[in-house]
Amino acid sequence: MVLDGVAGTGRLSILFGQTIAALFQKLPRRRVLLMQMYQIGNLSLPVILTTGAFTGMVLAAQSYFSLKGFKTETMVGALVGISLVKELGPVLTGLMLAGRVGASIAAELGTMKVTEQIEALETLATDPVHYLVLPRFLSCILLTPILTVICDVVGMVGGYVVGVDIYGIDKHYYIANMIDKVTAFGIIVGLVKAFVFGGIIAMVSCYKGFNARGGAEGVGRATYEAVVTSCMLILVSNFFLTLFMQNIHTAIYG
């Protein structure tokens, strides 16, 4: 199992290198790229909006009950903003996209693999990495940060509704504390994480789809492996990215 994991990591790294090389050779056709952006971005909006709204609302409710005992409930806005921007926004967006987009990519490419459509592309002198992987990779890394920002904003609005309209926190203090604590560096941290998570989702899903074997059963196995692996890598990389960005913050601001 360990050797299989090492070999899989090597093959995934090779696919990533081929994708980067294809990026510098020639950009994908606009029609193909826009179609992938629609599939990954527009069709994911309902999931992202729902996730962001209820995450912000739950954060506000839990924070209010926790901070009320310390008479600091006006800091609910700051806590909701920081939590969403730096951690929950990018992580939850990544997990939702891994489930919706990652499964779709793996299933689509896996079906093409088991029906020998990818081999047919090679026969026609078409690079499968450039034609199939690159548009999905670019769409994921470009749209995941945008969807993360949408998730953050919707979550903050949901938190505001719960904190101000339901629990009666003074709206001026709520907004002022949120603006004061949500820094530009914190926003950059969230966007960097989202960028990395988008790349993870695209590469893992494409890799699993390209290596599907055994007909319909193999496609199903590749699909759930893509989702599970993407989610695990998102959670693991989030930890290391948090430490890395914190070290950068310390080096810049002391």
Residue 83's pLDDT is what?
94
Count of residues making up the chain: 254
pLDDT digit string, tens, across residues 43-62: 999 999 999 999 999 999 99
CA separation for the pair 241, 7 (Å, rounded): 25
One-letter amino acid at 168 equals: G
CA separation for the pair 196, 37 (Å, rounded): 17
CA separation for the pair 51, 158 (Å, rounded): 11
Q: Is the pLDDT of residue 5 over 90?
A: no
Q: How many CB atoms lie within 10 A of CB 69?
A: 8
pLDDT band, residue 233 (cuts 50/70/90): very high
Tell me the helices (H) and strands (E) count for the chain, helix number first: 12, 0
pLDDT digit string, tens, across residues 187-219: 999 999 999 999 999 999 999 999 888 888 889
Predicted TM-score (pTM) of the model is 0.93
Contact 156, 80 (CB under 8 A): yes
Token couple for 105: 């990519």
Longest dimension (CA), the chain: 70
Q: Is the pLDDT of residue 4 over 80?
A: no
